Structure 1
Amino acid sequence: MSRFGRAGKMDSLAGFRKEPSGSSVPDGLLKAARTSGHLNLSGRGLTEVPQGVYRLNRDSPDEAQQDVSFGRADRWWDQTDLTKLLLSSNQLTRLSDDIRLLPGLATLDLHDNQLKCLPSALGELQALQHLRLSHNQLTSLPVEMWNLKNLVSLSLQQNLLENVPEHLGQLSHLTELDLSNNRLKELPSGLGHLTGLQNLHLSHNQLSRLPDSLVRLKSVKVMDCSSNQLSDLPPHLSEMLAMEQLNLRHNKLSSLPKLPALVLKDLYVGNNHIEQLETEQLACLTAISVLELRDNKIKKLPAEIGSLSTLTRLDLTNNDVDALPASLCLLPNLKVLCLEGNPLRGIRRDLLAKGTNELLKYLRGRLKEEPEAADGHTAVTLPSQATVNVHNIQTLKLLLYSGKQVADIPDEQFDAAANKNVTAVDFSKNELTAIPSRLLELQSSVSDINLAFNRLSCCSLDVCLLQQLTRIDFRNNQLSDLPQEMRNLRKLCSITLKYNRFKSFPEVLYQIVSLETVLLGNNQVNEVNPSRLMKLVHLSTLDLSNNDLLKIPPELGLCSSLRHLSLEGNPFRTPKAAVVAKGTEAVLEYLRSRIPA
């Protein structure tokens, strides 16, 4: 073909066009944003916002400055103001004052960047309704920001804020406020002016009290104050009548506060210092569905708990309850009852493992058998209160000596259990510094051992000879290692090691292929070997929460047998908290996507 022929196919307008600017934002995106009003620049590795973004509605497209023709879809005069700008998951360290050139913005998403401050010009975006600033490094906020009177949602989660000014109360249209994961020690009284607020998130701060003005928030439906230092709550909290969900986990509450009752459905007060449940406070929870009281010091359940007819889930894990009120088994909607880690008398551990329905059926049977107590309250307790509980040993096949605060188990307990085919042993909540050697006398039958809440610093080799073991509970001890001989426990399905001193994943656990459940939360574990975990083909539950894991290897996503994986409370950066919050399946899928091809 001649050079004249080739020339016929050349762009005749090439001489009139400008060279590309070299911006990391494709021109096509900017062009589409002029029409749609939406621009998504998330996850593009930007260290600054390109000037072309700020001037998107100021400068007409290049085509408009040239004497050329273009199609209907390219008509620059049909452009709309930018209303939605997404800049999340980049590497922005600052935001220019030129942000004022986008006055039509209704949504601005800057979460997951490296911002340490914000420009005062941000306060000029009077149309702004949604502002997301979470996962940055903000230590303060510009006073002009409180002029954003149309703001509906404000997310400041995971920053470095030590205080929030009284001006917060000027955001009168705010319905959602997230201040979680900061360094706040107190809240401004101006918070009470946000009367339209519906969702309030204050978790993982250093709050020792909440302002009295909080009770003016009559529209709040969800409030999360977990992981703070609260020892009490404002006395008029019960006036927040719209409250549907309240999270007070991981605080210092010594009693259940007086709470809003009309529509409160979910109440979480686990990991506090509660010792007693007041009858009056329980009776007013007329709409309660989920009541979490785990990891407290509750010794007794009032019979009035049976009046909570809407209750579907009751979690009493790791308390000091030794007897259950008969009324508990009459709750019509109760679907889940968690009692693990309590020194219950008269209920076998294997019965607890069968689930709520079987347990409630058992309790109903006991209710029919046992006469009403002298004080008018019926409780499920043992017929025998002797030093050696013969009923437990002969009928339940349970050797129970829990909560006695003793350093040694009396010989009479083992003598009574001799040749009785005991299957379960519960020596929890004592002062044991060594595992009783006489456990070996039960090696032909015992399958379940509970040694939680003792002072064990090492695991005796005697345990490794109990070939019938399927379950061991060592939580809340001082263990830092397990003997290699434990690999001989070929029937072991579940091991609980929470709240010990492990700095690494116990080597021997990689070799016990029968394991289905490993609970290793609240230790100091700093790494895990996914290739070895994959060999545990039956492992379905793995709890590594609240450890020192700096990195989650992507290969962990290949552990296809896992159905429940707990990773929260570790210092790793990826996967992000938002991914972890979506649950095990989402975490495993994310990890698999990160495996190098």
Structure 2
Amino acid sequence: MAPEVSCCFLVVLLSASCEVITSSDQMCIEKEANRIYNCENLGLSEIPDTLPNTTEFLEFSFNFLPTIQNTTFSGLINLIFLDLTRCQINWIHENAFQSHPQLSTLVLTGNPLIFVAETALNGPKSLKHLFLIQTGIFSLEFIPAHNLKNLESLHLGSNHISSIKFPKDFPTGNLKVLDFQNNVIHYLSREDMDSLKPATKLSLNFNGNDIEGIEPGAFQSMVFQSLNFGGTVNLSVIFSGLHNSTIQSLWLGTFEDTEDQDLSSSMFEGLCEISVESMNLQKHSFSSLSSATFQCFTHLQELDLTGNHLKELPPGIKGMNSLKKLVLNVNKFEQLCQINADSFPSLTHLYIKGNIKKLQLGAGCLEKLENLQKLDLSHNDIEASDCCNLQLKNLSHLQSLNLSYNEALGLRNEAFKACPQLKLLDLAFTQLHINFPQSPFQNLHLLQVLNLSHCFLDTSNQYLLAGLPNLRHLNLQGNRFQDGNIPKTNLFQMVGSLEILVLSSCDLSFIDQEAFHGLGNMIHVDLSHNNLTSSSINALSQLKGTYLSLASNSICIIPPHLLPILSQQNIINLSHNPLDCTCSNIHFLTWYKENVQKLEDFKELRWKYQHL
């Protein structure tokens, strides 16, 4: 056979891999051999015989199973997880799951249940998680209590339940999560709550019910991991009803479409009789705000005041020495000093994100927060010609700083000298003006993560990243390199400790083969959405065992001498490149057939081929 004929014949054989073939057969997807299968939305009315009896996790939602008999899943004796969301189930018969002693999670969300036999859940020895969301349930009597002694989470959201009174024989002792959100529960009696007293550190969710009354003493001496009364209009009812209870997290937020009642200082008086560590009041409004408002907040460790229309926090707040985390997102501060940070001297985490008005940083507004470790000031339209030492004065223990999505910031030498302990610095989508050849980051010897994506950087400054000996993760997405090239001498030679490098969407067309010299520790390199051709693959020769993304570039032909470079990587993404499926690329086509397991999104490969 002539050589050219042999080549063409091989291309014809291999080109079957170059086309995306869609089958009309509806087959379950095998996610993990013999263990995990996805049969969602295939119009099935029975369990396929092709599923092995070793199946442990089965996603079977959006099919058609109006009735579940004890034979429906009898062949799958090793089931641990079963999702039957929206399978139009009406009836679940006696001993329906008798063949499934290991079943731990059963999801019945979105099924219009008419009848569930009392012994329907007999069989599983350790059913821990049961989802009955949006099933039309009116009463807890509907739920079969047999064999639920090990139940840890019960999800009953979006039903028609008006009373949380469980039947006397319903085992609640092991419950950790009980979710009643979006039902019609308006009153909680002592008798209702008595059935939950065997549970310890329960997470109880009444979100979207608008509780209007709680019988005095209903929560007496009870201990909760979390309580959620989201959407309740009158918070006085909640605070008075929870007397003498202990709650780690209390969620009292409301929503945009909920009729709200302005919060007054008197509403919080009942809080003095409750032990609470964390409280969320998002999207409420304060009719008046004074230091007296916070007199019962003194034991809080976390407080979330997101979207409370706050223009300032009052000065002179006393006793907030326990507060570690304060969230003030989406408010109306004009100056950072208006939060009066000196009222919260023990703060370790402060979030002021998405401020509605342009936020001025001022100078030294946070200097009393000498224990602060995490500060988020993103999405605030902050602008400063000289950032950031005066603004961050005395924050010597700060480890994480987010200034992303702001306006222009001018960075001088050692711009973050006030925060030498920084480990994470995020400046994404904030235009940076750096008018000095020295690095503004050179004193950040502990910095591990630096996000400079879309910062309009001068990437030709090879000293930009000097002084970062521990930098592991660098994101330069969306920045431009001169002429679209990364030369041999470049800014990466200052950060030899890098493990993750993101250079996507940088309009790159060429990378010098020695551009990444000295970066032998890298385990993740993202070069996607550029204009690179195969000539730049040489630059990756010293990388081994990495995740490498070259998706959405201009790679057509990969010569045989570059294939060893690809072979020594763990995962490669070449999707959305115009790869040739012709004899000129025959070596890569052969390699591709042998290395499909290395290719991420291989079904998204875009081939240019000729029918012969």
> TM-score, length-normalised on structure 2?
0.47
Greater fraction of residues in strand: 2
TM-score when normalising by structure 1: 0.49
Task: Report which of the two has the higher share of helix.
Answer: 1
Higher relative contact order, chain-length normalized (CA < 8 Å, sep 6+): 2
